[in-house]
Structures are given as C-alpha cells and as structure tokens.
Structure 1
C-alpha cells in the first residue's frame, strides 16, 4: 500500500505504518493527519487494524475498508476531517460520532 494518500485540497493525508506480522501478511495501520499542523485526527494503531482500501470522496472526507488481523472483524469507515466526525459500519451495527468516538468504537470491536 502507498505510504501517503493526499486529499484533493491537500489539507489532509492518510498515512500508513506498515509492518509484516507473518510471511506475506502485512498490517497497514491508517493515520488521518491534518497537514497544516501535522495533527493526527484518527488512528487505528496498536490493535492490528489494517486498511485495505482508502479513497477520498471529497475535499475532506475519506472512506476506508479496514479489518483487524487476522481478518475476522472488519468495518467501513467514512471520516470527515474538516467536521471532525465520522461513521463506521461493522459486524455489530453502525456508529456515528466524533472522530475520537468512532476510533474508540472501532477499537472496541
């Protein structure tokens, strides 16, 4: 996976910390970052969550398909960096809230 995916207006990036957990099994942990001050707005670090698809749908909204290794739990994220809000849809339903609340909800799956 690419190391950085830049928003259309170049105000935000999604960066990845990638590491191999087993031969040919990689974790690509996503970080949503505001470029102006390098502030991390959203992260799934530390719990084996990996992004499989990442795309910007507008100037400040990114969609990601993520799963926790070894792949038994997954969800779809839609994060609006400008508004500081997001949604997650996973195996136990869906959740909407602040980026921090969405991060907490995903990490609790």
Structure 2
C-alpha cells in the first residue's frame, strides 16, 4: 500500500509505504521525495521506522513523528527539502544537520 502526502504546492511529497510486520502489526515507512525528478531525499530503508502525524509546515518543510517497530524507540523530525537541513528530537537527545546526517542519526537510535 502506498499513500502520498504532497506539500502545499506539490513540490515535494512524503510517500508512505505500508507493510505488515506480523498479523495486524503495520509499519508505515516514510520517504521524502522531490516531485520534479522523483529523487528520494530521505528514507529509513533497512529499519522498521513508522511515521505518524505527517504535517507540511510550508511547501518544503515537513514534520513527522517516528517510531521504530515495535514502538519503544521514537523521535520527532523536521526536514526542509529545499535547504537540505533537518532536525530530530528524541528522549536520548537532539540532532541537527543535513537530511542524510539526520537520517543516519535516526537510524542509529
């Protein structure tokens, strides 16, 4: 199943790829994509991170709440696709950097 959540001017989108981990346990994996050339700017492939409360703050900035399956590890991220900058907040700390740096920080929680 794929859901697409577009930024206000449809410049970027968050695609949510949902898959079942086990019976009735779903992961909604987020991918931040530039629409013009379909380039993936941020993803959490290889780790079962699930997004909820995906909110576009403006045409290039998105905020998401993430949980790593089964849900004991979580964080909130804010990503600006235009400036290639983002931040993350979790109980273990905060981080800011490029989208790829934020992606690596989240993957290592």
Q: TM-score, normalised by structure 2?
A: 0.96
Structure 1 unpaired stretches of 5+: none
5+ residue gaps, structure 2: none
Counterpart of 2:103 in structure 1 is 103
CA–CA distance in 1 between the matches of 2:19 and 2:8? 27
Report the CA distance between 1:2 and its aligned residue.
Answer: 6.6
Runs of 4+ in 1 over 4 A off after TM superposition: none
User: Which residue does 1:37 correspond to in 2?
Assistant: 37
Contact 2:32 / 2:43 at 8 angstroms: preserved in 1?
Answer: yes
- Is this contact kept in 1: 2:2–2:17, CA < 8 A? no
Aligned-pair RMSD on alpha carbons?
1.2
Q: Return the alpha-carbon distance in structure 2 between the equivalents of residues 46 and 17 of structure 1.
A: 13
Q: Distance in 2 between matches of 1:53 and 1:23?
A: 23
Q: Kindly report which structure 2 residues correspond to 1:81-92, keeping only aligned pairs within 5 A, or say none.
A: 81-92=81-92
Equivalent-residue separation in structure 2 for 1:108 and 1:50 (angstroms): 15
